[in-house]
Structure 1
Amino acid sequence: MVIDIQTFMLALGVGNVAFALLMACYMHGAERSLALRDWMWARLACGLGECAWWIAPRMGSHVFEVFALGVWIGGVLLEVAAYCRFFGFRSLWRLMPVPIGIAIVTIGCALFAGASRTQMTAVVGGLIAVYTFNASVVLLDLRKKRTLLERIIGVNDVLYALAIGIWLVVEKGANAGGTTVIGGLAYLASYLLMIVTGFGFLLMCKQRDDRQMQRMATIDSLTDALNRRAFFERAESARQLTLRLRKPLALLMLDLDHFKQLNDNFGHACGDQALRLFADTARGVLRDPDLLGRLGGEEFALALPGTPLEGALQAAERLRVTLSQAVIDCAPTYRMSVSIGLVMVEPNEELTAALARADHALYAAKTGGRNRVEVGPAIFKSA
């Protein structure tokens, strides 16, 4: 496999610049992603540095070669910064001067030792391999929940690091010049790295944006409970599943007592804190399959799949007692309480009808003194 290193550097540089332009077009008019912005500038810097490295022999200037190397490795470090920003590694972001310093010292020592152009290419390639391998460790961390796309990019990073490592060890990174099979494979790995990580990072950002949009469409932003539409959809799915499995389904309507007084006396910000506290308390006493939804204002609903009446009563009482012991920071003298209406969904009963019965039970709990659980009567149908 014969590959001219100069031609390859030009192709690599043009490819990276093209990626940067594509990303700029993608981000135009869209919500700005700081990680994607960093990645775009990283691709542009890498591309310009590689193109400058290709032009350097024609310029006949050693200073231009140093400039090209600096821009090239700077682009690689910007990629590291983009990963740190994407995954929220603020502590690693603060440590960015360390890899920058390592790169400067390494390149400076190579230049001082009079390394040839091919040797300098190997030095930069080695630095890129080290930083790429570090990125693969993050992407392939089994302790973290990563998407399949992130895993694929991580594997690609490992393969690149291995290819460059083998090239440096076997060929010494000196006189290979891309004219051997190993050198050719190293360059091919570099090109694959550009393509996979270039498109991959863009898709990673899009995946995250899609997840955020989906979350905004289903989750109440204040309490992290399901919003009204999402609760109805998932509760209906739970109703159909429990009907097929011949399992019970408990449905509860909940309303915070004297919530208007809390807002009037302590402010709406304090009311928001109370709603968040209630949702957190509810999640703390419920099971994973249970569904919590905010229907509006201080009104919530619960669906407890597979829970009989006795179990639902125990869960409701546990929530009521736990909430009565909770303290709101902004209103320490205020004692929270909740009124709960509970019904068991009858076979073939529509969800809206069951919710209406639970709402009637909630009204009975309110008129009966509040801070209590009221069980709605069952529906008796003649044969």
Structure 2
Amino acid sequence: MIDILTFMLSLGVGNVTFALLMAGYMRGATPSPSLTVWIWARLFSGLAQVCCWLAPQFGFPLAGKLASFASVVGVALELAAYCLFFGFAHWRRFLYPASVAGMAVVTLALLAGATTEQMVCVVAMIVALFAAGAAAVLLRPQKGASLLQRIIGANDALFALAIWATMGVTRGNVAALGASSLVGFAYMASYLLMIVNGFGFLLMCKQQDDANMQRLATVDCLTGALNRRAFFERAESARMLALRLRKPVALVMLDLDHFKRLNDSFGHACGDQALRMFADTAGAVLRDHDLIGRLGGEEFALALPGTTLDGAFQAAERLRLAVAAAPLPGCSGDYRVTVSIGLVLIEPNEELTAALARADHALYAAKSGGRNRVEVGAAILKCA
């Protein structure tokens, strides 16, 4: 079996290498605070492990002391990177005091003249506590958590359990590690921590970047609604699914009334606020599986799967009333936006573009009829 000093050196070199790989990954890319903190975590962990090798190998007692502090800093930074990655708002409130407490324990142990074996036990337990904290962050109940996230969390939990089990069996006697059957388990957990967490965090960052790119490609950046291309793709998928299931799909065209007048009177910032207000109101009124897209300017479209013509009319009326009641505080206290709506039911085997054209005709009729109203489009005439 590999001796512990050689093992610590290999872990140290591995962690420093991971840090350099991550630095190369970030070069030329959009700065990532979580990845930057993670790089420092890998560097401090690598420094601690190299110092653990240097201290007995060359008789540098100071290196052993540095290893203790660097180990605590490394795992604290690793937990901070996770908190930043998941966007925790108040992580500093608990992580800063925990980090200071860990450093204080190490300092007190050194001042009390703790032996090397005792320092290893103290630092190992602190590291295990932070690893358990990282596991709690990654394994917490969370909607949409990826399998990769769960694997990394399980790896952190395994590492913490390996340390606690090893310390428990040896009763803190580090010298007995060579004879313990758990030493191989502890080595393997440490190695997996480096490999799985090192590559895993990079892959999680890439997953996040890919998701952001996908969002930018499909979502209108101003309103958060689907953009024109994404709406057409998803509405067509909804139409095809409804055709197979023989379910209805309602299609709605909407236009904010007098939008140019709003821009001219209060400025484009107010117009942008009106567009966002409409999208937010529609999101609150409609069902989760309903589709809303911004087709351009002040024109929006809705696809309502599984909705009859009567149900679509009622939904459109609720939306119209909700929009008319929503204030625009950044524009004028008494100004209210209204919306004109045209809706149709997609006929069996009717193309999406044809249904949109019918809904657009109904929208034109709603505007011609005085605006701030819902108009139902004419059905397709069937030959006798």
Q: In the alignment, which residue of structure 2 is the partner of 1:36? A: 35
Count of residue pairs brought into register by the alignment:
382
Whether 1:91 and 2:69 are equivalent positions in the alignment is: no
Whether 1:368 and 2:369 are equivalent positions in the alignment is: yes
Percent of aligned pairs sharing the same letter = 62
Contact preservation (8 Å) 1:107, 1:124: yes
Which sits farther off after the overlay, 105-114 or 234-243? 105-114
Contact preservation (8 Å) 2:82, 2:137: no
Whether 1:300 and 2:300 are equivalent positions in the alignment is: yes
Q: In the alignment, which residue of structure 1 is the partner of 2:223? A: 223
Contact preservation (8 Å) 1:3, 1:178: no
Q: In the alignment, which residue of structure 2 is the partner of 1:162? A: 161
Shift of 1:65: 2.3
Using the alignment, how far apart are the partners of 1:18 and 1:37 within structure 2? 15
SS at match of 1:316: helix
Shift of 1:143: 5.1
Shift of 1:122: 2.7
Using the alignment, how far apart are the partners of 1:80 and 1:289 within structure 2? 36
Using the alignment, how far apart are the partners of 1:191 and 1:251 within structure 2? 56
Q: In the alignment, which residue of structure 1 is the partner of 2:118? A: 119
Contact preservation (8 Å) 1:251, 1:343: yes
Instruction: Calculate the aligned-residue CA RMSD, in Å.
Output: 1.6
Whether 1:27 and 2:26 are equivalent positions in the alignment is: yes
User: What is the one-letter code of the residue matched to 1:212?
Assistant: N
Q: In the alignment, which residue of structure 2 is the partner of 1:355? A: 356
Contact preservation (8 Å) 1:262, 1:270: yes
Shift of 1:243: 1.3
User: What is the one-letter code of the residue matched to 1:114?
Assistant: G
Q: In the alignment, which residue of structure 2 is the partner of 1:193? A: 193
Query: Whose relative contact order is higher, 1 or 2, with alpha carbons under 8 Å and at least 6 apart?
Result: 1
Q: Give the TM-score taking structure 2 as reference length.
A: 0.95
Contact preservation (8 Å) 1:339, 1:372: yes
SS at match of 1:342: strand
Contiguous gaps of at least 5 residues in structure 1 = none
Using the alignment, how far apart are the partners of 1:302 and 1:144 within structure 2? 26
Shift of 1:361: 1.2
Using the alignment, how far apart are the partners of 2:246 and 2:136 within structure 1? 47
Q: Give the TM-score taking structure 1 as reference length.
A: 0.95
Contact preservation (8 Å) 1:242, 1:305: yes
Whether 1:132 and 2:144 are equivalent positions in the alignment is: no
Shift of 1:27: 1.2
Using the alignment, how far apart are the partners of 1:232 and 1:145 within structure 2? 25
SS at match of 2:349: coil
User: What is the one-letter code of the residue matched to 1:79?
Assistant: E
Whether 1:339 and 2:337 are equivalent positions in the alignment is: no
Using the alignment, how far apart are the partners of 1:262 and 1:94 within structure 2? 45
Shift of 1:59: 4.2
Q: In the alignment, which residue of structure 2 is the partner of 1:176? A: 176
CA deviation profile, 1:258-311 (whole Å, cap 9, x unmatched): 111111111111111111111111122212221111001110001111211111
